[in-house]
Amino acid sequence: MSTTPIATIQHQGLATWVMETALLCEAENVVWCDGSHDEWNRLTEQLVESGTLIQLNPDLHPNSFLARSNPSDTARVEERTFICSRRESDAGPTNNWHEPEGMRSKLTAKFRGCMRGRTMYVVPFCMGPIDSPLALVGVELTDSPYVVISMRIMCHMGTQVLEKLGTDQPFIHCLHSVGAPLGAGLPDVPWPCNDEKYIVHFPETREVWSYGSGYGGNALLGKKCVALRIASSIARDQGWMAEHMLIMGLESPDGAKTYLTAAFPSSCGKTNLAMIVPPERYQKIGWKTTLVGDDIAWLWPGKTGKLHAINPETGFFGVAPGTSWLSNPAAMQAMSKNTIFTNVALTRDGGVWWEGHSDPPKELIDWTGQHWTPDCGRLAAHPNSRFTAPAEQCPNIDAEWQNPDGVPIDAIVFGGRRPTTMPLVFQAFDWTHGVFLGATQGSETTAAAAGKVGTVRRDPMAMLPFCGYNMGEYFTHWLDMRKHIQRLPRMFHVNWFRRDSSGKFLWPGFRENLRVLEWIVKRCQGKIPGHETPIGWIPDWVDFCVDGLDGFSEEQFDAAMEFRRDEWMAEIMSQNEFFLRLYHSMPKELMCQRELLMARMA
């Protein structure tokens, strides 16, 4: 952390922007962040003193802290997230659009004086390995020290990034404020924020302005804002892809390494799959899994002729509830130290707890700071409570996870939470068919969710909230990429959540999902056949490993793999609303894919 005089900064454009913004926001101090351990120690001590952080028991979680946000500031605010492209059609019907100059005027008024009494931190950051050809450099100006320490975990930041900028390199301008100026002599609050929030993207000028929230993707602007919304726009212009995908490696007993990416809507087990540990039987015969990234993938045609992928982040910003030593031991080990927990419960001995962690303790302090017991009728942790942990602490982090040239991708996997219709796994016929599968993926509403039971909520490529431009043009970009990839990856669709007539899951899931990944790997390697059906290629019983899966019969396999023409015709009809919404920009190839599917069902 440095109070470097602006006059000593070599990048004149950056220095001018910082000075002008400090004057606009009326910041009391300007601090240039260097990303050092000393800076981390000073800021965490400051945040503990102010009540924003609680230091956890160092014997349980060394160098780790708990934050409790304001109850009004606990998640992304999609209804207040805007794409301010010059033309409304460039944002498309699935994004909130606002005319850019009008939004600038509105936000300038909001930011005027917003940092009064506060320090403005200058956070140079880089998404992606610093030497990667895709690396994107940004600078976030923020009045939140919580954001500074979180960005230090989630990306490369500090002096090394400032040096990369040199004297004139372009960078993404990111401005953030919690929107809570301090009057003279007035006390601060542990979690300052504003009831009025704006998360605004200007794709043509590569800018992000965020006001009113201190939480997660609303404030850590390198994450969803830059690494997906702005990056997706840049990727379209430059011929690569910014995707909401995990990246993982699978090493088979013969030593062959296969990398895949996967995109799932929320609540579909994405993080658990990214960090999957092979079942004991698979470990004994030599199967290994590695993690490159759990959330975002940047992909481009690599030197090998394959699609290559990097993880632009250096940390995990994971949902805590449901994470345990049973469901995701790799995540539990990753968050064992040097971690910031937000909105989880505090145990009597200075540890953390959340629903699904373990058996409930007799008493806790819940995420709002109140005394909690198992029978009190409240959740101990917020459903969207988080852990921010360094990726390098994951026990199976891939040796190539920071390779600037990325890893070669052999498979792309889509999926959703579907109690009916979708088989456990099937393979697309070709790239265009695979894009169609990704474009129509979604999850089915249940009795526990808002909306009509059985309605499929479409989330194409899991990018619906994160695509920085028109979704129809996004599909076109996917289709165009096939022209630039010499060795196209195979494409698959999975569904761990199919149920029988009594409502029971047909597939055991969790670590046993590696059996599905094994079939995918062997299909990529050309080692096993697939059975052709109207929806794609599916595995035969004899080619799918169920050894050691006690009680799982061929009849159960057939039920998990079954496709029913009546359900698929209903599926095709349910796509109508989504296709009509994007009609003016929907590529004709996807319309044809839908017609071909209907023809195959005849």
pLDDT in tens, 174-207: 999 999 999 877 789 999 999 999 999 999 999 9
Whether residue 6 has pLDDT greater than 80: no
The label of the residue with tokens 């707890």 reads: 353
- 457 Rama sector, left if φ>0, alpha if ψ -120 to 50, beta otherwise: beta
For residues 65-86, average pLDDT: 95
> 268 an active-site residue?
yes
Confidence of residue 576 (pLDDT cuts 50, 70, 90): confident
Domain limits, the chain: 6-32+78-238, 243-311+401-601, 315-393
Rounded to 10 deg, the angle between the 37-50 and 145-154 helix axes is: 140
Pick the CATH number of 243-311+401-601 from 3.90.228.20, 3.40.720.10, 3.30.110.30, 3.20.20.60: 3.90.228.20
Tokens of 11: 């990048």
Whether residue 334 has pLDDT greater than 80: yes
10 Å CB burial of residue 67 (0-12, 13-18, 19+) is buried
Q: What three-state secondary structure class fits 273?
A: helix
Q: What pLDDT, on a 0 to 100 scale, did the predictor assign at position 448? A: 37
Q: Given the DSSP bridges, would you call strands 136-142 and 172-177 parallel, antiparallel or unpaired? A: parallel
Q: What three-state secondary structure class fits 90?
A: helix
Whether residue 1 has pLDDT greater than 50: no
Whether residue 3 has pLDDT greater than 60: no
Q: What three-state secondary structure class fits 307?
A: strand
Here the contacts of 231-238 (C-beta below 8 Å, separation 24 or greater) are: 231/127, 231/136, 231/298, 231/312, 231/468, 232/463, 232/466, 232/467, 232/468, 232/469, 232/474, 233/203, 233/468, 233/469, 234/136, 234/206, 235/298, 235/477, 236/469, 236/473, 236/474, 236/477
R_g of the chain computed on alpha carbons = 24
List beta partners, residue 456.
Answer: 444
Running DSSP on this structure, what letter comes out for residue 499? B
Whether residue 453 has pLDDT greater than 60: no
- Residue 171 sits at φ, ψ, to 5 deg, of -150, 160
Tokens of 593: 């894919």
Mean predicted lDDT score pLDDT of the chain: 95
Q: Which amino acid is at 335?
A: M
Whether residue 454 has pLDDT greater than 80: no
CATH code that applies to domain 315-393: 2.170.8.10
Q: Given the DSSP bridges, would you call strands 340-342 and 65-67 parallel, antiparallel or unpaired? A: parallel
Pick the CATH number of 6-32+78-238 from 3.40.449.10, 1.10.1740.10, 3.90.180.10, 3.30.390.10: 3.40.449.10
Confidence of residue 269 (pLDDT cuts 50, 70, 90): confident
Q: What pLDDT, on a 0 to 100 scale, did the predictor assign at position 4? A: 57
Higher pLDDT, 132 or 578: 132
What DSSP element (H or E) covers 237? helix 231-238
Tokens of 276: 């999957």
First to last CA, the chain: 67
The label of the residue with tokens 């990097």 reads: 310
For residues 547-556, average pLDDT: 92
Give the least confident one: 105-109, 259-263, 447-451.
447-451
**How far, in whole angstroms, is CA 549 from its chain's centroid?**
32
Choosing from 84, 268, 467, 524, the catalytic residue is 268
- Residue 22 sits at φ, ψ, to 5 deg, of -60, -40
Q: What pLDDT, on a 0 to 100 scale, did the predictor assign at position 248? A: 98
Whether residue 449 has pLDDT greater than 50: no
